[in-house]
Amino acid sequence: MTTGILKGGIRHDEMRRSNRSLVIGAVRRAGKLSRTEIAGLTGLSQSTISAIAADLISEGIMLETEHASSTATTRRGRPQVALTLNPEAARAVCLYLSYNQLLAAIVDYSGATIRSTSQTLDTLALGREELIDAVMGAVRNITDGQGQFMRIVFAFQGVTDARANEVLWSPIVSHSNIPFGSLLEDAFSVPVSVQNDCNLIATALHWKNPERYGKNFLAVLLSHGIGMGLMLNGRIFTGIRSSGGEFGHMIHKPDGSLCRCGRRGCIEAYAGSYAIQRRAQDENLHAPLADTHGADLQSLLATARASEGPARLAFREAGQAIGFGLGSLFSLIDPAPVALIGHGTAAFDILEPEIRTALAQTAAGDIASELAFEVWPDEVPLIQEGSAMSALISVDQDVFGPGLRILGAEPEVVA
């Protein structure tokens, strides 16, 4: 139900704008598409597609590829000409700051990675200015001599604001409210979006496997902390003020274990890998916050698998927290496909039965049995792919859709 916020009469140019975006989106999704196929997919007429394609080609946004052998073997009749996005049409910079690591990449308009860099840095120890300098330096470094670029996407473990401009809070740095968006925009004169890593994971899943991850699904990152990306109605769900979806900080047990965020009883305080380790060692009151990235958890997991004991109990309680949390979430939005991502999924064999047992005790219980989890151990490639798609879709819709011409992306005129 639309509810009467006005402004927004459709004019003539809007129509073209929208249809151009539709065509670009269809080609991005499929990779290669003939005019006839585009007409079929969009419902627009052949003649309209012909006109729009001619424009896009003359603007250097799309390319005609030699005889597309798209449809099986050669058939009678004039062969279809495949259209693709012109890789040279635009470039974007993708940044990903995670615990002690800063990744950067340049992608072309087709999504291919042109160049990438990686550097380690002590994220928690760094001062505010040092942190900003490191990020700025990474962009300067990777773009040096690489020509113009049209977008920066800054992926971040933490809470960003809803306008995708500022980092509000993050577990991996010691500072809050850092306006990376404005800083980067001022420095590089390019639109920047600051995005929560889990939201980008969801974006990536949607592009990798649209059958499973269509208009509604859930991606849960099981890592040092617990994160979530949520797709609802075909859109990444963000909160009203922040990037939202702080699944890890829903309350599992009022007044329960101490969480990294300073509060008590959050899901993360049971299911984050630091919490599992803490629970396995002594009792569960105070958080040591040792950085348990990788190895330690592996040995703990081996112990847990070997026999009953505190280690296995710790993983079980983690599974319970996740299960009840999903149950509460599903009370609001119903079960949907769920993906579990990150190194915490190594313990999936122990977690899953506990998750299902807990879920069965919640309002989602009836349909929980239908629910299939998919596991992706490594989140980094997903975040990188999500960043690239996020940047490029933004170019598709905001720049090439409207048909503006942008500095530094001078299109070749393909007579």
Residues 186-205 that bind its own copies (CB under 8 A): 203
CA contacts within 13 A on the Cβ side of 190? 27
Within 26-55, which residues bind DNA (CB under 7 A)? 34-36, 43-48, 50-54
Does the footprint of its own copies cover residue 255 (CB under 8 A)?
Answer: yes
Taking the complex as a whole, how short is the minimal distance between the CB of residue 125 and its own copies, in angstroms? 25
Q: Which residue spans within 30-177 are E strands per DSSP?
A: 33-34, 62-65, 82-85, 91-98, 101-108, 113-120, 151-156, 159-160, 167-169
Within 258-287, which residues bind its own copies (CB under 8 A)? 261, 263-266
Q: Are 318 and 357 in contact (CB under 8 A)?
A: no
d(CA 44, CA 371): 38
Residue closer to its own copies by CB (options 247, 274) is 247
Q: How are beta strands 226-232 and 217-222 bridged, if at all?
A: antiparallel
User: Which residues are within 8 A (CB) of 44 and not within 5 positions of it... i.e. 6 or more apart?
Assistant: 19, 22, 23, 38, 52
320 binds, options its own copies, DNA, none, Cβ within 5 to 8 A by partner type: its own copies
Does the footprint of its own copies cover residue 3 (CB under 8 A)?
Answer: yes
13 binds, options DNA, its own copies, none, Cβ within 5 to 8 A by partner type: DNA
Does the footprint of DNA cover residue 281 (CB under 7 A)?
Answer: no
x/- track of binding to its own copies for residues 36-55 (CB under 8 A) = -----xxxx---x-------
Residue closer to DNA by CB (options 58, 394) is 58
- The count of other CB atoms within 10 Å of the CB of residue 325 is 28
46 binds, options its own copies, DNA, none, Cβ within 5 to 8 A by partner type: DNA
3 binds, options its own copies, DNA, none, Cβ within 5 to 8 A by partner type: its own copies
d(CA 98, CA 198): 12
Taking the complex as a whole, how short is the minimal distance between the CB of residue 263 and its own copies, in angstroms? 6
Within 288-327, which residues bind its own copies (CB under 8 A)? 320, 324, 327
Whose CA is closest to 383, among 156, 162, 123? 156
Within 206-235, which residues bind DNA (CB under 7 A)? none
Does the footprint of DNA cover residue 405 (CB under 7 A)?
Answer: no
Q: Which residue from 209, 284, 303, 328 is in contact with its own copies, where contact means CB under 8 A?
A: 328
Taking the complex as a whole, how short is the minimal distance between the CB of residue 113 and its own copies, in angstroms? 21
Residue closer to its own copies by CB (options 186, 334) is 334
Q: Are 311 and 298 in contact (CB under 8 A)?
A: no
Does the footprint of DNA cover residue 7 (CB under 7 A)?
Answer: no
Torsion region of 283: left, alpha or beta (phi above 0 gives left; psi -120 to 50 gives alpha) = beta
Q: Which residue from 4, 9, 254, 262 is in contact with DNA, where contact means CB under 7 A?
A: 9
Does the footprint of its own copies cover residue 215 (CB under 8 A)?
Answer: yes
Q: Which residue from 72, 77, 120, 240 is in contact with its own copies, where contact means CB under 8 A?
A: 240
315: helix, strand or coil: helix
Q: Which residue from 336, 346, 371, 375 is in contact with its own copies, where contact means CB under 8 A?
A: 336
Expressed in angstroms, the distance from the first to the final Cα of the chain is 46
Return the residue matching tokens 């005889």: 67
d(CA 201, CA 243): 13
Residue closer to its own copies by CB (options 260, 343) is 260
User: Which residues are within 8 A (CB) of 170 and not within 5 positions of it... i.e. 6 or more apart?
Assistant: 156, 157, 158, 159, 176
Return the residue matching tokens 């829903």: 250
Q: Which residues bind DNA (CB under 7 A)?
A: 9-13, 15-16, 19, 34-36, 43-48, 50-54, 67, 71, 74-81
